[in-house]
Structure 1
Amino acid sequence: MVTLTTHDHDGELAVFLIGARIERPWRPDGWWPALAAMRPMLAELADDPDAGFLGATTLVGARGPTSVQYWRSVEDIYAYAGDDARRHRPAWVEFYRRARRVPGAITVWHETYRVPAGGHESLYAGRPALFGLAAATGAIPAARRGRTARERLHSTAAQDGP
């Protein structure tokens, strides 16, 4: 029998995608520092439960990595990004400095999604290894929320309703 689980989070959250696309692979001096900066930032966030960071999954594609991050709120993302005492600001300043010296070597991008309470659903079928949102928030049996994606999404919306 296949084990079905879902994530264990009922409230609002933010999904933050950040990635890099290596445009000039022959210029690692232009792209490696940007890639190398991500791991220390993720470690800093993981070590600070008050930052609002819930967890991340990093995916590696042919042209570069993408980090799928889960946060308590969009405001927590902004607070971290704008904090001069954290690793992000110095890394961002260094990125711009390097981009002027080695233009076009890398494209760095991000997307931010505010997900209201009741606006998220997940399903993990198979071995109960934690991945994605379940790795960030924990996992529960999917049956607790419903048999189908529609039921699970409706279930979380009902729990957080008026």
Structure 2
Amino acid sequence: MEVTISREAHVMLHDATPQDPLDASSRDASSGSAADSARRPPNLTHAPLDGLDELVVFQIGMTVRKPWRPDLWGPVFTAMPRMLAELGRAKAAHERGEGKDLGFLGAEAMIGPSGPWVVQYWKSTEHLYEYARMGSLAHLPAWKAFNVAARKHPGAVGIWHETYAVPVDRIETFYGNGAAVGLAKMVGAVPVASRGRTARQRLGTR
């Protein structure tokens, strides 16, 4: 699945108001009893992305147009878990000092009306493109197999992707009541107030 689309995504949010749930730091300090505050899970934002100039968010999914032909869409469906497992093993090996850094930070799998998709987080577009071309790993053989099947059975199953290369100081996140998903799950989390009281304040930080 050669990456062909790339665009920068700048997330621009309005200033949070005192009633805005994103303006969480002042609410935590002023509402409820001390006991309630002690029991409440913290509001978080993603940990600093030290050493990175950009964060790459890569979304990829599939659409099944002939559900009665699992022999055609099944191989596409099962290819992604193999790739994610491979990337996860490579990441763990690198963290142990035993392998190459492929630049993969992590992924979240989802499913919607159009089919399953995966949101992946990478350190750079260069890492993403290099992995896509590595013939010794799972992606390139799966991509070639899909192209062969697509020529024989056009329209049976579709694949799509979107690539966002985002400067690290143009990312704003909020995880209320201790939620740890998405980017925070991949890189860790810190108290939301460490970056600013409002979404607009946090957007300009690294």
Same fold (TM over 0.5): yes
Number of the residue aligned with 1:124 = 175
Quote the offset at 1:63 in angstroms.
Answer: 2.8
Aligned pairs (5 A) from 1:11-160: 11=52, 12-49=54-91, 50-126=101-177, 128-156=178-206
Q: Which runs of 5+ in 2 are unaligned?
A: 1-39, 92-100
RMSD, aligned CA: 1.3
Distance 1:63 1:31 in 2: 14
Distance 2:205 2:144 in 1: 44
The amino acid of 1:94's aligned partner reads A
Q: 4+ residue stretches of structure 1 with deviation over 4 A? A: none
Question: Does structure 1 conserve the Cα–Cα contact (< 8 Å) formed by 2:105 and 2:122?
Answer: yes
* Percent identity over paired residues: 48
Q: Which runs of 5+ in 1 are unaligned?
A: 157-162
Quote the offset at 1:117 in angstroms.
Answer: 2.4
Question: Does structure 1 conserve the Cα–Cα contact (< 8 Å) formed by 2:121 and 2:183?
Answer: yes
Between the two proteins, the alignment pairs up a number of residues equal to: 155
Residues 82-114 of structure 1: CA deviation (Å, up to 9, x unaligned): 011110000001111111232211110111111
TM-score by length of 1: 0.90
| Structure 2 SS opposite 1:118 | helix
Question: Does structure 1 conserve the Cα–Cα contact (< 8 Å) formed by 2:44 and 2:176?
Answer: yes
- The structure with more strand, counted as a fraction of residues: 1
Quote the offset at 1:2 in angstroms.
Answer: 5.6
Larger radius of gyration: 2
Distance 1:31 1:86 in 2: 21
Distance 1:59 1:149 in 2: 26
Distance 2:60 2:82 in 1: 15
TM-score by length of 2: 0.72
Distance 2:152 2:198 in 1: 52
